[in-house]
Homo-oligomer: A and B are copies of this chain.
């Protein structure tokens, strides 16, 4: 999409902020922008690894979640809550995964409102392969030093908790 820029655009932005008298918020602005950009880079790496397997990140996340579910099945609203995405996004992902034969919908035994989603054998196999690929190609080569990983987990964990992600 683009070759390396001669200058860091986020450092430039920070400089612009300071030049306009917003020095008090320039650093957090830069940090937030850097998080946005980092997410973009990581997502691109992940999608590159998943593409040959016919998966997108959204669909992989759902497969992975199901593969760890004790009972092997999850209500859609549970999946929505755990993945922290809108229910319609889950509907969308399940539609496509179901069409690809990787998951199946079934009615909840006692609650007629609820739909359960479950991995097919094929879905379970693909989830394993996708996780192995991501472990090898992305998570195992993140480029973050061990110390930095721990620090990120602490800082971002505090942030998410303060944002109301979890109460734990």
Residues A148 and B140 in contact, CB atoms below 8 Å apart:
no
A35: chain B residues within 8 A (beta carbon): 35, 38-39, 42, 152, 156
A85: chain B residues within 8 A (beta carbon): 1
A86: chain B residues within 8 A (beta carbon): 1
Does A120 count as interface, using CB distance less than 8 angstroms? no
Does A92 count as interface, using CB distance less than 8 angstroms? no
Identify which of A2-10, A95-103, A105-113 touches chain B. Answer: A2-10
Residues A168 and B138 in contact, CB atoms below 8 Å apart:
no
Number of copies: 2
Which secondary structure dominates where chain A touches chain B?
A: helix
Residues A2 and B159 in contact, CB atoms below 8 Å apart:
no
Give A32's nearest chain B residue, CB to CB.
Answer: B42
Cα–Cα distance between A159 and B131 once the two chains are bound (Å)? 23
Residues B82 and A5 in contact, CB atoms below 8 Å apart:
yes
